[in-house]
Chains A and B, each alone.
Chain A
Amino acid sequence: MSDPADRAGAVFGALSDPTRRALLQAIAAQPAATATELASDLPISRQAVRKHLTALADAGLIEHRRAGREVHYRVTPAPLSDAVSWMADVGGQWDERLATLRRTLDAR
């Protein structure tokens, strides 16, 4: 998962699910969320929360630490910026090509 485009794929995959996006927002809203707290914030079961937490962690979007009997989750911002920079790089190249295309056709 070191390649930016690979990372981008995993990130977009994880974020394609609306429940996971809501969960990620809920995690971002507090510094050390637990699965129980997150389940009470969202209309899904604790078991579903755990499943989605695993998907988000696999994509590198969140990280956790053990604190006694609790597990705390927080958002890791880096993978999202990888995905965004892939979109910006490739999108920017197409914008340049399309501007050139328009100029070339106008000059004919």
Chain B
Amino acid sequence: MIPMPRLSLDLPAIEVTDLQKRYGQIEAVAGLTMTVGRGEVFGFLGPNGAGKTTTVKLLLGLARPTGGSGKILGAPLGDLGARRKVGYLPELFRYQPWLKAREVLTLHGELMGMPRSRRGKAADEALGIVGLADRAGDLVGRFSKGMQQRLGLGVALLGEPALVVLDEPTSALDPVGRVDVRGIVRGAAARGAAVFLNSHLLSEVEQVCDRVAIIDHGRVVASGELDDVLGQAETLIRLTGLSESDLPAIERFGPPTLEGDLLAIRPMDAENVPELVAQLVSMGAKISEVRSGRSSLEQRFLELVARDRPPAGTPSAPRLR
């Protein structure tokens, strides 16, 4: 009998310190440190080969770390008891094609130690959440890839786990399905589950995650709340008639820099843009373009992971998934 894990709401859902995984000469994960709290949707981003799926496998005990340590729901990585409260949708989702959808879920209910009396109800609930209630009696082998991914999401959400690990959960879904998944992820977080979302779909992550970590070459290159990672808002103004000596006069809006005809103030509150424009005009500047806002996650992602890579099209250039 596998003992129940010590589950406490005070303990983080995931806590890893200096986690490392090496395959021969290849360092897949190189000193990863991160914490994911309860009820949090955590986005885990990175280009192909960055170590995302390896990290997921380390968290779930499917692979063993070569260094560092970590805990899942307060138990050491690989602890069987803790896995009772973890739901997982693998990147390569595949379920027994000879089983019916409901049978896959009851099987996983049995594997996670759920009492027999609860399995059917839990399976029906999970099928309802992922929109497969009317396909419960169909063979999985007859499902489309998108439906199989929905089923996998149902398997991951079965029995209201305390931690849901989703590895590319929308890779096979159409736009409607992707919107559904955002709602499902938010719903899981609302009932207190931590969601670890491994994805390369940046807009998806931007819309649903509370915090993100961007990894590259097995290391975290940026992490924190979305606002922290994306940086503060900035204002860019294309103009003429302004010189370096004029800059102190506009420093109250934020630290200005002037490169050629481009004035950048970073950070700067977007609400102050009209006042800044008025002052620049009064100083004799001729303005041709004003842009205000902050980087998208995609821009920030590219800044962080693409700066040391050869340009696309060269033989060794990595391609974003």
Q: A and B from one assembly? A: no
Binding site for B on A (CB under 8 A): none
Binding site for A on B (CB under 8 A): none
